[in-house]
Amino acid sequence: MSRAAKDNVMLSTDEQEIWAAIEYWTKQLKQVEKLLFPVTLNILFTLIVWIGVYQTKTDSNSVFYYMLDPKHNHTTGNEIVDGMVNGIGCVLMLAVISFALLAMALYDYKRLVQMWLYMSCLLIIFGVFTSFIIDLFKACGFQNAPPILTTIIVVTYGTVGILVFFTKKTPLYMHQFYVISNCSLVSVFYLRMFPTHTAWFVLVCIIVWDAFAVLAPIGPLRRINEKAHEYSDQVLRFLMFTAEDTNDEPCEEIEATHKCIRRRKTACSKNDIPVEIVQKICAKFKITNDRRSDETNFTVYDALNDGSSVRLGMGDFVFYSLLVGKAAATHSAMCVAGSIVGILVGLVITLTIFSSDETSPALPVSITIALLLHFGIYLFVEPFYNQIVITPKLFILL
């Protein structure tokens, strides 16, 4: 082979590698784009509720009774130590629940796992939402929430929520709305119930826990993949936000086949066709329908590894909003902006650089960057900025 031919082959190989890299990064950035907007929307909705309804104030009368709090009798006498103990305790409780659910899944207690998911969902769409509506009415100037109007709003929201989470009859955007809404309300609930410094230590501990749960060989989220093929993809509706789902499209084909079978049966019943022919036609369409049903019987494993759907866990939304909500409690716009930027930058890094064929933890990078930016701004940038602003005023007064 001549030198020119070899050079052409090398150039061709280099071009292929470049185009492959461009195609890969384009795909990754499209996935990021599909998640950045809902994450931002969730954070903004949390801020609206947290600031507009609750004025970024915790409820000292409703703090979890098992937590240490200087405002109650249960305390070590130091707010920092109280927060550290509370944060570690919360994550340990999360670990116990996660391993309990893992044990139930590994030992085929499917009903218990499903009941846990169902009850958690109902508790949020009825219980947490009711608490929010009552507080919203009080924030609007009502001494007590109107019982009839409150009941109508809660029943309507809850009924639609049941259709969204328990069936596939609603469009995807309805599920997306409920996930964003529910995660924001849960975040605000934790912001209200956690004592002063507890949320910060929860966020620090959750970085370690999320990395362990997803990446460690004995991590519950990693081990649960062993049973993912035994659960319908419907389970993911209770656990994850789906930016784009292509698995629901084949269901239309199945429904069309059902209609075709019903038309055939009706036509056969009206005409005097022998029963044997009718049975053969129906059996033929039943076999076709069964094949399509098998092809479209997606499991959790299939949904998570289909390579087209973009998903993010509901817990990720909750902790993102929890961090920004705590930043808002400092009444610093720069801290809030820094936290939001840190979360979004961390999400971009997670979904591009650290993404792989396996599930990647979405919290460690985002929470770490956001915490560093928040405390960097709060402890160093803001005091320096205030000093710059105050100094000219002092010179003017002098």
Model pLDDT for residues 16-65, shown as the tens digit of each residue: 778 777 776 677 677 788 899 999 999 999 999 999 999 999 886 766 66
Tens place of pLDDT per residue across the chain (398 aa): 555 555 555 556 767 778 777 776 677 677 788 899 999 999 999 999 999 999 999 886 766 667 888 777 678 888 899 999 999 999 999 999 999 999 998 888 888 988 999 999 999 999 999 999 999 999 999 999 999 999 999 999 999 999 999 998 899 999 999 999 999 999 999 999 998 889 999 999 999 999 999 989 899 988 887 777 777 778 888 889 988 765 554 444 444 444 554 454 444 444 444 545 545 544 544 544 444 444 446 677 676 666 667 789 999 999 999 999 999 999 999 999 999 999 999 999 998 887 765 678 899 999 999 999 999 999 999 998 888 877 666 556 55
- Residue 368: which of 332, 339, 328 has the closest Cα? 339
DSSP secondary structure, 153-216, as one string: HHHHHHHHHHHHHH-S-S-HHHHHHHHHHHHHHHHHHHHHHS-TTHHHHHHHHHHHHHHHHHHS
Task: Determine the pLDDT at residue 303.
Answer: 67
Helices 129-139 and 172-193 meet at what angle, rounded to 10? 70
Residue 349 included in any domain: no
Task: Determine the pLDDT at residue 232.
Answer: 76
In the block, which residue shows the tokens 């900025």? 385
126: which 2 tokens? Answer: 């009825």
Between the alpha carbon of residue 131 and those of residues 53, 134, 378, the distances in Å are 12, 5, 32
Between the alpha carbon of residue 395 and those of residues 348, 381, 382, 391, the distances in Å are 45, 22, 20, 6
The span from the CA of 82 to the CA of 74, in Å, is: 9
Q: What residues are annotated to the active site?
A: 210, 316
Q: Do 198 and 86 meet the contact criterion of CB atoms below 8 Å apart?
A: yes
CB-count burial class (<10 Å; 0-12, 13-18, 19+) for 164: buried
Amino acid identity at 395: F
Residue 355 included in any domain: no
Residue 98 included in any domain: yes
Residue 251 included in any domain: no
Task: Determine the pLDDT at residue 293.
Answer: 44
The span from the CA of 198 to the CA of 278, in Å, is: 69
Residue 124 included in any domain: yes
Residue 380 included in any domain: no
Residue 163 included in any domain: yes
Number of domains in the chain: 1
Range of the domain at 108: 3-244+319-332
Task: Determine the pLDDT at residue 173.
Answer: 93
User: How far does the chain reach from its first CA to its final CA, in angstroms?
Assistant: 85
Task: Determine the pLDDT at residue 371.
Answer: 97
Residue 141 included in any domain: yes
Q: Phi then psi for 299, rounded to 5 degrees? A: -105, 175
Beta-carbon-side half-sphere exposure of residue 121 (alpha carbons within 13 Å): 26
